[in-house]
Amino acid sequence: MNAHERIAVVTGGGSGIGLATCSRLAADGFTLAVLDLDVDAAKAAAGADGTGYEADVSDADAVERTFAEIVAAFGRIDVLVNNAGINGGPAATICHETPVADWDRVHAINSRGPFLCSRAALPVMLAQGSGHVITVASVAGMIVFPGRCAYTASKGAALMFAKSLAVDYAQAGIRSNAVCPGFVETPMTQWRLDVPELRAKVEGNIPLGRVAQPTDIADAISVLASGRLGYMNGHALIVDGGWTAL
């Protein structure tokens, strides 16, 4: 199989980390299947050789239908990047002040989404005897982000889900790893980073002195997707500028 026959599925690929990841994986020779709520953004991210799909990763029927279309179109899935995620916005804060609907939506996207997409991709990976599931978790799944109860809990779940896949499917030739970003400049975080004093507080806690750009995280995903780290399985790859080293 040459590089251009490798198929990567990227969820939430229309913006932020997902869009940067699509660009990097396409440059690496992958053909892309991109899922996003914005189908035009998904199609643009997929490029001429790939395909974009409108899908809510928390919707079981939509996920099953979309992955069936992907398999019918490409015949295989070599890499699944579980990237789609939300932080819940300002309302999803400390526990007793977080609306139940916000908690449910954060967990629906951040932990149910990787489950549904992996569940849909794994049968084809099992049939081909290979595959790699890369889940974008967060350092918030390892340390607590104050005032972000729903997000922290959901990313902890996503991280342990990635480890569970690593243990359960390794003997079938399928690996699973997580990428754990720190603070990344994306449309989801702009509400905080656009406030100068909040940006300064965030960057003051990062030894490299800046928040990550989406391309920083895409670089890490690219290395995992390349297969060059073939013995890495069940790992949480931290990409946070040294934040959690403090």
Phi, psi (degrees; rounded to nearest 5) at 226:
-65, -25
The whole-angstrom separation of Cα 22 and Cα 12 is 10
What single-letter amino acid sits at 213? Q
Task: Look up 169 and say whether it is catalytic.
Answer: no
Cβ count within 10 A of residue 187: 9
User: Which position among 53, 151, 169, 231 bears the catalytic label?
Assistant: 151
Tell me the CA end-to-end span of the chain in Å, nearest whole number. 44
The whole-angstrom separation of Cα 19 and Cα 29 is 16
Instruction: Report, as residue numbers or ranges, the catalytic residues.
Output: 151
